A = this chain, B = another copy of it.
Amino acid sequence: MTNLRVGVIGAGQLARMMTVPAINLGLQLKVFAENENSSAALAATVVGDYSQLEQLQKFAETVDVITFDHEHVPIAVLEALEQQGKSVQPPSRALKFAQNKLHMRQRLQQLGLPMPVWAEIKTASQLADFINQNNGVAILKTPIGGYDGKGVRVVREAAEANDWFAQLDKFGGSLLAEEKVDFVRELAQLSARTPSGEFAAWPLVETIQANGVCSVVKSPAPNADAALIEATTKIAQTVSEGLGVTGVLAVELFQTRDGGVVINELAMRPHNSGHFSIEGSVTSQFEQHLRAVLDLPLGETKATAAHAVMVNLLGTDDQNDFVSAYPRALAQFPQAKVHTYGKSPRAGRKMGHVTVTHQSEVEALKIAEGAATVLLQG
């Protein structure tokens, strides 16, 4: 019997949610976790340090392809695995752009893609100039190491970045400054690509953030006309082909007042903006990711309902106990699909999500937010 074995480095909720399509499709999923009590513990077969080549080599020998729950594995380690003939998807040549926001901007510029005004910043005086030229404010980012709002600052004076300038080597020798985009909303274009080059995009979604973390996703994005959808799909395809991305790619976008879009961030893995697809699409982002990294044909991405709305369960403190609220939440909202990740609670932490599919977007949002509210009381 043929046995397709996928190895996932990282054992958070993304790896956890990959176990579902692995069970359905009869694939073998192995997880390389950092510790015993991970969100994907059910499938965690190895606990180790992902920065150690030797440990990953041993893990890689037991699977047909290596993929990721996060983007933090050192590129040198991945290159070494590739040189030994291991299939790493997405490959190191794509992931290096995900790991360095400055290199990402440089590459997207070469590809002619729409972006905010940006600049590489090496000195306080360069930063002061950038602020002056961009309405007195800059979004300053460390090229390396940021996620969910970390490693990002809104600065109006160059001096606000003195601590970062003092340790510039840690960030690769430069900072990245971007204009503060005057956006009307945020969008995300999810897609997947196989090593053979097959590409499939999901419907464009709107994402609503709270404190820099994704809070609500509406699929499809309200009032998105055909021209916008064509543009964002084309952007996703250009990015995935131009950067050599395989598996799921999320392109986070700002929509500006003139109706255009510029690229905010990229994620080369299943992404919070695609959780709706578990119930809201014929093929979920987790199934599509496994199919893509195994170079299997991609599944249909059509919506299963007129609307799907996802609301994140963000921890409020270290006492959240969603499961104790199940009796009330499930009784009040029998249509809600509740997902919890088995993580210990912490303020602001992504602990789970609720998705509702419905004919009406307003109703879907009401039900999903209602269920989330009750769960957060637990």
Contact = CB atoms under 8 A, between A and B. Distances in A.
Interface stretch (A86-94, A252-260, A293-301): A293-301
Interface stretch (A46-54, A163-171, A320-328): A320-328
A352 B26 contact: yes
A24 B20 contact: yes
Interface in A273-293: 278, 282-283, 291
Nearest to A298: B334
Nearest to A28: B342
Give the residue among A43, A327, A337, A357 with the most B Cβ atoms within 10 A.
Answer: A337
Interface stretch (A1-9, A115-123, A224-232): A1-9
Contacts of A324: 2
B20 A327 contact: no
A183 interface: no
Interface string A301-326: 01011000000000000000111101
A210 interface: no
Interface in A1-49: 1-4, 16-17, 19-20, 23-27, 42-43
Contacts of A323: 1-4, 26-27
Residue in A1, A324, A352 whose Cβ sees the most chain B Cβ within 10 Å: A1
A345 interface: yes
A321 B26 CA distance: 11
Contacts of A299: 330, 334-335
A192 to B, nearest CB: 12
Given A2-B321, A323-B3, A344-B1, A339 B297 contact: no
Contact of A1 (B4, B23, B345, B352): B345
Contacts of A362: none
A304 B357 contact: yes
A340 interface: yes
Which of A16, A25, A291, A298 has the most C-beta atoms of chain B within 10 angstroms of its own C-beta? A25
A297 B327 contact: yes
A327 B2 CA distance: 12
Interface string A329-366: 01100110111111011000000100001000000000
15 contacts: A1-B321, A2-B323, A16-B23, A24-B278, A25-B338, A25-B339, A25-B340, A26-B323, A296-B330, A297-B334, A298-B334, A300-B335, A302-B335, A304-B305, A304-B357
Closest 5 CB pairs of A and B: A26-B340, A297-B331, A2-B323, A297-B330, A2-B324
Given A17-B23, A42-B42, A282-B335, 11 more contacts: A1-B344, A4-B323, A4-B326, A19-B23, A20-B20, A24-B339, A26-B322, A26-B341, A27-B323, A283-B334, A304-B305
